[in-house]
Amino acid sequence: DGLLIVSVPNVGHWTIVQDLLSGRWDEVPAGILCVSHLRFGTKKNWEQWFHQSGWQIIRWECEKLPLPEYWKLQHPDYNVESLETIQYRFVAKQGKNQ
């Protein structure tokens, strides 16, 4: 009855979105696009992968780097939480999913 503690990058962060809009996906030695990362996703992707693998998320938190004001002003309908989040940390237990 152990817990799984996972820290994962968020490719929905504004710096990655900005690069994608410029046609770039550059892997780097450290950071969100670190060459050592095996999978990339957003919070919804990670939640789905946990669920499909039989894990129930019991807690999550995120580490943020604030979105520049010009992004907020130009795109007030964007998902600010995802755009500001660099990484998610999940605590999950194995068992029945909701």
pLDDT, tens only, 51-73: 999 999 999 999 999 999 998 88
pLDDT digits (tens, 9 = 90+) for 72-97: 888 888 889 999 999 999 999 998 65
**pLDDT band (50, 70, 90) for residue 10:** very high
> Hey, what CATH topology would domain 3-94 get?
Rossmann fold (3.40.50)
- CA–CA distance, 65 with 39 (Å, rounded to integer): 21
Q: Write down the pTM of the prediction.
A: 0.83
- For residue 80, give both structure tokens: 């600010």
